[in-house]
């Protein structure tokens, strides 16, 4: 906490020095969303380069003066929270003055900018985000407030903790972790009692694009148990993108790559080649939209695809067919095909990439 307070004090000191010299204060933040500031490292994923380009939030410019003021406002709120050892969610910060902040996304962007500017993970700033992910299966842990959470006893779904850093005493006999793209598939596997029938496992879903807490939990489970992590995604560009976020990270959070990415993640399904192998009827597949074509073209150009020739082959099958499929397409073979046949065979015969 002293490190966080000192970092904020340094920023404020810089503002005061500028004012003393009768200069307009300026905040300098990294260009977090620029691919030119990103390098790919096989062992880490997408990370920000040391000498990356920056942008200035000026106090004397009409376009950025409000942003400057809001950044100082949120810095002061963080400072007070760290001092008093209290926490707030991003929503709490927004609702503390909705007229001032105008939108939740403004608060979210500024908090990420502050985290990047101070080079301090968001969790250490005492800012939490509300979790949307779920976890179930062979796992128990103690929450930061001392509550014992046991996911193993039942088919109950638990929300991913909002302070993943604070959980401890993680225990599990799981043989693997299964990341499921969608909530509906996750619930279906729970109903079929998949995690205890096939072999003990931990199941997680970020319910689409994962939030920070879900990514932190996947990383924490990997650090704790070092067991295989498989992904179950739709066979479409959006599903591939989500899987890449878990494995290699995202451009906007590349400054935190070391805490968030799990490069050992494997693609279990649904593979584009599976659709042909299982003789899935063409009528059950969905034609590409222009957006799908653009997304796939963008993924194929990314630096990490070059070191994944088997992934590239699958993406090329998808690009050639211009067809996509949701995991639910397997119900056209039988209602419980996913949990009874598809996943057990994939796991037994090492059908992952």
User: Mean of the pLDDT values across residues 228-237?
Assistant: 95
pLDDT digits (tens, 9 = 90+) for 141-186: 998 888 898 888 666 788 898 888 889 999 999 999 999 999 999 9
Catalytic residue among 95, 141, 246, 248: 95
Q: Is 304 one of the catalytic residues?
A: no
Share of the chain above pLDDT 70, in %: 99
Q: Is the peptide bond before 270 cis (omega within 30 degrees of 0)?
A: yes
**Residues in contact with 344: Cβ distance below 8 Å, sequence separation at least 6, in sequence order:** 198
Structural domains for the chain: 2-128 (1.10.10.10), 134-349 (3.40.1360.10)
What's the rounded Cα separation, in Å, for the pair 112 and 71? 11
CA 351, 227, 199, 238 torsion-angle sign: negative
Residue 104, pLDDT above cutoff 80: yes
pLDDT at 52: 80
pLDDT digits (tens, 9 = 90+) for 149-158: 888 866 678 8
Are residues 326 and 286 in contact, defined by beta-carbon separation less than 8 angstroms?
yes
What's the rounded Cα separation, in Å, for the pair 336 and 198? 13
* 3 state DSSP class of 352: coil
pTM score, two decimals?
0.85
Residue 75, pLDDT above cutoff 90: yes
State the Rg of the chain over Cα. 22
pLDDT digits (tens, 9 = 90+) for 274-319: 998 898 888 888 999 999 999 999 999 888 888 889 999 999 999 9
pLDDT digits (tens, 9 = 90+) for 5-24: 999 999 999 999 999 999 99
* 3 state DSSP class of 80: helix
């Amino acid at each position: 906490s002293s490190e966080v307070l000192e970092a904020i004090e340094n920023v404020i000191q810089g503002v005061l020095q500028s004012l003393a010299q009768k200069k307009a204060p300026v905040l300098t933040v990294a260009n977090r969303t620029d691919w030119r500031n990103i390098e790919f490292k096989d062992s880490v994923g997408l990370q920000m380069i040391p000498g990356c380009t920056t942008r200035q939030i000026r106090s004397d410019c009409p376009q950025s003066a409000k942003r400057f003021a809001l950044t100082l406002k949120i810095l002061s709120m963080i400072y007070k929270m760290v001092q008093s050892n209290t926490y707030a969610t991003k929503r709490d910060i927004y609702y503390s003055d909705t007229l001032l902040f105008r939108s939740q996304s403004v608060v979210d962007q500024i908090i990420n900018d502050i985290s990047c500017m101070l080079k301090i993970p968001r969790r250490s700033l005492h800012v939490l985000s509300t979790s949307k992910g779920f976890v179930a299966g062979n796992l128990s842990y103690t929450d930061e407030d001392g509550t014992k959470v046991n996911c193993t006893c039942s088919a109950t779904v638990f929300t991913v903790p909002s302070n993943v850093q604070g959980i401890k005493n993680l225990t599990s006999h799981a043989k693997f972790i299964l990341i499921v793209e969608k909530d509906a598939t996750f619930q279906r596997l729970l109903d079929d009692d998949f995690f205890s029938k096939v072999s003990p496992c931990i199941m997680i879903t970020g319910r689409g694009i994962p939030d920070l807490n879900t990514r932190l939990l996947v990383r924490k489970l990997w650090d704790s148990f070092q067991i295989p992590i498989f992904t179950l995604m739709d066979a479409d560009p959006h599903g591939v993108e989500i899987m890449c976020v878990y494995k290699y990270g995202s451009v906007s959070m590349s400054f935190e790559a070391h805490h968030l990415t799990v490069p050992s993640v494997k693609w279990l399904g649904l593979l584009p080649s599976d659709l042909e192998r299982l003789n899935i009827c063409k009528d059950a597949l969905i034609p590409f939209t222009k957006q799908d074509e653009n997304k796939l073209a963008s993924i194929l150009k990314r630096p990490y695809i070059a070191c994944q020739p088997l992934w590239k082959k699958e993406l090329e099958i998808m690009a050639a067919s211009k067809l996509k499929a949701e995991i639910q397409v397997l119900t056209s073979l039988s209602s419980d095909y996913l949990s009874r046949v598809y996943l057990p065979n994939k796991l037994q015969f090492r059908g992952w990439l």
